[in-house]
Amino acid sequence: MLKKIVILLFVTCFACFNTVFAAESGGMPQLNPEFWISQIFWLIITFGILFIVLTKVILPKISDNLETRKSQILENIETADKQKEESQKKIDEYEKIILDSKLKAKSYFNEAREKILDDINKKKAALEKDLDEEISEVEKELYDLKNKSGEKINKIAAETSAELIKELIGEEVNSSSIAAIVEDQSKINKERKDV
Amino acid sequence: MYQFNVYRIGPEIKLGSVDISFTNASLFMVISSLAILIIFNLGAKKKTLIPDKLQLLSELSYSFVAKMISDTAGSKAKPYFSFIFSLFMFVLFCNMFGMIPYAFTVTSHIIVTFVLAAFIFIGVTIIGFMKHGLGYLKLFVPSGVPMVLLPLIVVIEIISYLSRPISLSVRLFANMMAGHTMMKVFGGFVISLGIVGGWLPLSFSVALTGLEILVAFLQAYVFAILTCIYLNDALNLHH
């Protein structure tokens, strides 16, 4: 395979040279000066016109287009940036508002709670005061009653014992001595109770 | 080598004693220039923000050449943009029109490329002397070379500078001529080997056509970029 390719290349090269040299029997057309001046002349004319038209008319237009596009794109980017900033500002504002309202809500809630608690406490205190007053009144009454009842009992006991003695003996005993005895007895009772 | 023959089209035109008749070479120069002008004029006409195909083509070519110039010769070469642009487009279109079968390749003639290269060479030399005066001669004296070698180096530099137009013109001319000759040879093979063996050179021919289109672009690009490099030497003395 490789041999074949090498041989083929050889043949190709040989043929190539053959053709070239065969054609060159009349000399390379490039080295024939017959039309050199004409070629130079037309080259200068065509290239000159091309150069002048490109320089004066076409290239400024293209560079203008490119410039305007560039500036347009830059402008657009600028406005986009501005709008982005604005939207960011708005977002910040919005978040601030939300935060503020949250704080406000919290404070309102706290206020309300405190008020209610205060109310509750006040009412509770008032109620307790009332209750205490009532309780103390009742206790006082009870105490009074208790004290008075003791005296009354003693009195009644002295009176009844005086009458009983009168009935039994038919003689009047000194009421003060009876009262003293009753008092002593009730005192002893009381001490027993306390113990 | 029939394809490289220049022949008269129409009557013989004489300016004094010189023959400046309109030939097939002139015809293809005119066609190339007109094609460039038409395409770029159409591309530059519309001024839409989002370009259509032709506008995109012209704008891409514009920025391509602009980038090429600014990359190789810097911002000082901006005034020469339009010349390099026309040069690049002219060579490119001449090369590309030469790829059409039966067309004539303008750039396959040494006289055409040599005139272009000589014009560039003379222009660049004038620009160099105008910008730097006699200081432009420093181009031939590279810095950091030992004194012993200096005479030799200067001679070599001068020779290389003077051979610029020749190398520039011969590069383009030889590339175009060799490519077209190769194509012709392989085309001839297809005929001579017939239906049995002709397929291999035919496929070669097809591949070569692609290669030649690449070369046509590449040589135009090389021509333009070498011009830029020479211009760079003249504008910014690096040595």
From A16, A85, A74, select the one nearest B185 (Cα to Cα): A16
Taking phi over 0 as left and psi of -120 to 50 as alpha, with beta for the rest, A147 belongs to alpha
H or E element that contains A30: none
User: Among residues B80, B48, B52, which one has the least CA distance to residue A64?
Assistant: B48
* Whether pLDDT at A17 is above 60: no
Q: What is the SS3 assignment for B16? A: coil
CA nearest to B22 within chain A: A38
State the complex-level ipTM.
0.90
What is the per-residue pLDDT across B77-120, written as a single tens digit (0 to 9) for each?
A: 889 999 999 999 999 999 999 999 889 999 999 999 999 999 99
Size of interface A-B (CB pairs under 8 A): 146
Q: Which of A62, A72, A74 to mutate to test the interface with B (most CBs of B within 10 A)?
A: A62
Question: What residues in B contact A40, CB-CB < 8 Å?
Answer: 111-112, 115
Q: How far is CA A43 from the centre of its chain?
A: 78
Using alpha carbons, select from B88, B81, B90 the residue that is nearest to residue B37.
Answer: B90
Which two structure tokens, joined as six digits, stand for A193?
């109770």
The predicted pLDDT at position A24 comes to 47
Question: Is A20 in contact with B181 (Cβ distance < 8 A)?
Answer: yes
Nearest-by-CA chain A residue for B18: A37
Residue bearing tokens 């590449």 = B218
CA distance B161 to chain A (A): 24
Q: Which among B2, B6, B57 is the top mutation candidate for probing chain A, defined by the most A β-carbons within 10 Å of its own β-carbon?
A: B6
Residue from A59, A66, A72 whose CB has the most chain B CBs within 10 Å, to mutate: A59
**pLDDT above 90 for B44:** no
Q: What is the mean pLDDT of residues A95-124?
A: 94
Cβ proximity of B64 and B80 under 8 Å: no
**Listed residue (B82, B90, B53, B30) closest to B223, CA to CA:** B90
Question: Around Cβ B168, how many Cβ atoms within 10 Å?
Answer: 22
Is the Cβ of B60 closer than 8 Å to some Cβ of chain A? Answer: no
Say what the pLDDT of residue A96 is. Answer: 96
H/E element holding A111? helix A59-169
Q: Work out the number of other CB atoms within 10 angstroms of the CB of residue A78.
A: 10
Check whether A25 has a pLDDT greater than 60.
no
Contact between B20 and A37 under an 8 Å Cβ cutoff? The reply is yes
CA distance B167 to B132: 25
pTM of full prediction above 0.80: no
Q: What is the pLDDT of residues A31-63, one digit of tens each?
A: 888 888 899 999 999 999 999 999 999 999 999
What confidence tier does A14 reach under pLDDT thresholds 50, 70, 90?
Answer: low
Contact B29 A38 (CB under 8 A): no
